[in-house]
Amino acid sequence: MSFTTDATLFTFEGKLIKLTHDSTETKTKMNVNVYLPKQYETSSEKTIPVLLYLSGLTCTPNNASEKAFWQPFADQYGFAVVFPDTSPRGAAIEGEDESWDFGSGAGFYVDATVEKWAKNYRMYSYVHGELQEKLQIEFPKLDFSTISITGHSMGGYGALSGFFKNPNKYKSVSAFAPICNPIECQWGQKNFGGYLGEDKSAWAAYDPTELISKYEGSEIPEILIHTGTADPFYHRDAQLLPENLVAASKGTKFEGKVSSNLVEGYDHSYYFISSFVGQHAAYHAKYLGLSK
Amino acid sequence: MSFTTDATLFTFEGKLIKLTHDSTETKTKMNVNVYLPKQYETSSEKTIPVLLYLSGLTCTPNNASEKAFWQPFADQYGFAVVFPDTSPRGAAIEGEDESWDFGSGAGFYVDATVEKWAKNYRMYSYVHGELQEKLQIEFPKLDFSTISITGHSMGGYGALSGFFKNPNKYKSVSAFAPICNPIECQWGQKNFGGYLGEDKSAWAAYDPTELISKYEGSEIPEILIHTGTADPFYHRDAQLLPENLVAASKGTKFEGKVSSNLVEGYDHSYYFISSFVGQHAAYHAKYLGLSK
């Protein structure tokens, strides 16, 4: 058995499965939650599309499972939702638990090259590769060839970055308060510096604002982003910089296709995320070929 | 100012207001959250009906605010939701923080008579009286004369108990995994014994299964209850006993009107609650005179 089932929770009209498995990428035990919509039980093999949701700093798979409210929309449209963890945990690396925004809970969806982290902190290859391959085997009714991607904050960056780096893999990409230009903000500099070292060309290979002009895919979906004007990481700390991504889209295949919405008064929390999950679900459902 | 606003959170199409105030009933500072639906801003005085949601053991006002997902339904129908705390906190009573199911976080919605607790643990008078009166003044557009009540677990018991003890006050009552017959279960015996003493006639005055035959109101709504079959407090510990309430309804005004639904596979968590909030919202909206 590749996965161990820790819990099967009945929620809305489907089931949330809490799993653990030994990852070959991170060399640790990893947690992941999968929401199987009501359509799963009676479906045939490889018929249920997948939405990959990447969480933000400090989160486990449980935060979004309990507070983002994807379940009723997954049931409405008929897609599964995969909630990976945000980093390896318990890798026994000195200092990995010292900072809330680096190390445990903050894998930043890169493959680390700095020696200290390189063995375990391989979240890029884990979420876009190993995890999907193993879940396809575990849940044969899911169709990982019909997949879209979304995420929040660090996970919103991870979704955008992963979309641009994997041409034509993801049918659509959306993000809630994403870190759009990590090279230019403190979170990005701390994490890219820590995991990738001082060579900034390595950083650019993960930065959505750098990657958007280099995208080699033929499928060009609209990109849906919501950011709250009362989000302190937006208005106070300039960690998110959605304007930079929009500006960088000019002259690229995505010119006019980045739908970056500043929403008045919303903050950075799940109160914000859950408010717009319905819109993001409808957006992804369209690209996943699902009707109401 | 009766209330201090700690936070105003934009969520869904309304606002969640986090408040504190000095309670005359509990003689402590109390926390309460209020969700104002999208209709609030443009409404006239005393036009927005209210749903009172009583939480379960250990919860603060924040748990249900973040995880029960009343907000989209409150917006759909146009009612406000009030989330009180589950006990006084910081009353400086010896032992109040020692047990997870007695004292802090476990006020059991009674007015304590045992001397040690009697000064502060007056959650019955607080939630059904003082809190509503003060919120009516603070939010004049809310209409506390058009109010329904619901809750979870200890709060489901509190909703049923409060409904039966206040004839014609609440338009409707529903509950998620309520403790229906506290006299007959360990949670009820511990809390009633602790707050009300050994005289069991005092216990009966709060027990829904005892009260249902004594209800003096003329308005007899259906009573909506959901309980999960995988809820360990139901199937393992016999803390909930919904069958006793249904049996006690025979020969009363509520005969045939207790809709007690055992739902296969659901547990006691917010994953369960949020799955059925939509049904409960539609039920209460009907009695609150709200259409879609």
Q: Give the integer Cα–Cα distance in Å for A186 and A182.
A: 8
Q: Give the integer Cα–Cα distance in Å for A52 and A86.
A: 13
Q: Do B11 and A66 touch (CB under 8 A)?
A: no
Residue B211 inside a domain? The answer is yes
Indicate which of A271, A272, A276, A279 best probes the interface with B, i.e. most B CBs within 10 Å of its own CB: A271
A contact residues 156-195, partner B, Cβ 8 Å cutoff: none
Cβ atoms of A93 and A116 closer than 8 Å: yes
Residue B229 inside a domain? The answer is yes
Q: Give the integer Cα–Cα distance in Å for B2 and B23.
A: 9
Cβ atoms of A18 and A10 closer than 8 Å: no
Give pLDDT tens digits for B130-163: 999 999 999 999 999 999 999 999 999 999 999 9
What is the C-alpha radius of gyration for chain B, rounded to an integer number of angstroms?
Answer: 18
Domain interval for residue A137:
3-287
B292 pLDDT band (50/70/90 cuts)? low
CATH number, position A132: 3.40.50.1820
B226 pLDDT band (50/70/90 cuts)? very high
Among B11, B71, B230, select the one facing A10 at the smallest CB separation: B230
What is the C-alpha radius of gyration for chain A, rounded to an integer number of angstroms?
Answer: 18
- Told to judge if B280 belongs to the known catalytic residues of this protein, a careful annotator would answer no
The sign of the dihedral angle between the CA atoms of A242, A247, A248, A251 is positive
Strands (E), chain A: 3-11, 14-22, 29-36, 48-54, 80-84, 142-151, 170-176, 223-228, 258-263
**How many angstroms from the chain centroid is the CA of residue A234?**
19
Residue B64 inside a domain? The answer is yes
Tell me, what's the pLDDT at B16? 98
Tell me, what's the pLDDT at B291? 74
Indicate which of A10, A17, A33, A73 best probes the interface with B, i.e. most B CBs within 10 Å of its own CB: A10
* Residue B230 contacts A, CB cutoff 8 Å: yes
Residue B292 inside a domain? The answer is no
Q: Give the integer Cα–Cα distance in Å for A193 and A197.
A: 5
Give pLDDT tens digits for B181-206: 999 999 999 999 999 999 999 999 99
* Residue A38 contacts B, CB cutoff 8 Å: no
Q: Give the integer Cα–Cα distance in Å for A286 and B103.
A: 51
Residue B214 inside a domain? The answer is yes
- Please tell me whether the interface predicted TM-score (ipTM) of this complex is above 0.90: yes
Let me know how long chain B is. 292
| Residue pointed to by tokens 């970055």 | A161
Residues 6 or more apart whose CB falls under 8 angstroms from that of A20 comprise A3, A4, A6, A29, A30, A31, A32
What residue type is B141 in one-letter code?
K
* Residue A59 contacts B, CB cutoff 8 Å: no
Cβ atoms of A30 and A126 closer than 8 Å: yes
Q: Do A69 and B66 touch (CB under 8 A)?
A: no
- Told to judge if B43 belongs to the known catalytic residues of this protein, a careful annotator would answer no
Residue A94 inside a domain? The answer is yes
* Residue A12 contacts B, CB cutoff 8 Å: yes
* Residue B202 contacts A, CB cutoff 8 Å: no
Give pLDDT tens digits for B228-275: 999 999 999 999 999 999 999 999 999 999 999 999 999 999 999 999
pLDDT in tens, chain A (292 residues): 599 999 999 999 999 999 999 999 999 999 999 999 999 999 999 999 999 999 999 999 999 999 999 999 999 999 999 999 999 999 999 999 999 999 999 999 999 999 999 999 999 999 999 999 999 999 999 999 999 999 999 999 999 999 999 999 999 999 999 999 999 999 999 999 999 999 999 999 999 999 999 999 998 999 999 999 999 999 999 999 999 999 999 999 999 999 999 999 999 999 999 999 999 999 999 999 997 6
Nearest-Cα residue of chain A relative to residue B16? A271
Taking CB atoms and an 8 Å cutoff, what residues of chain B touch A275? 10-13, 71
Residue A292 inside a domain? The answer is no
Residue B22 inside a domain? The answer is yes
For all residues of chain B together, what is the average pLDDT? Answer: 97
Q: Do A10 and B270 touch (CB under 8 A)?
A: no
Structurally, chain B folds into a number of domains equal to 1
Give pLDDT tens digits for A92-118: 999 999 999 999 999 999 999 999 999
Tell me, what's the pLDDT at A1? 59
Q: Work out the percent of chain B whose per-residue pLDDT is above 90.
A: 99
* Residue A276 contacts B, CB cutoff 8 Å: no
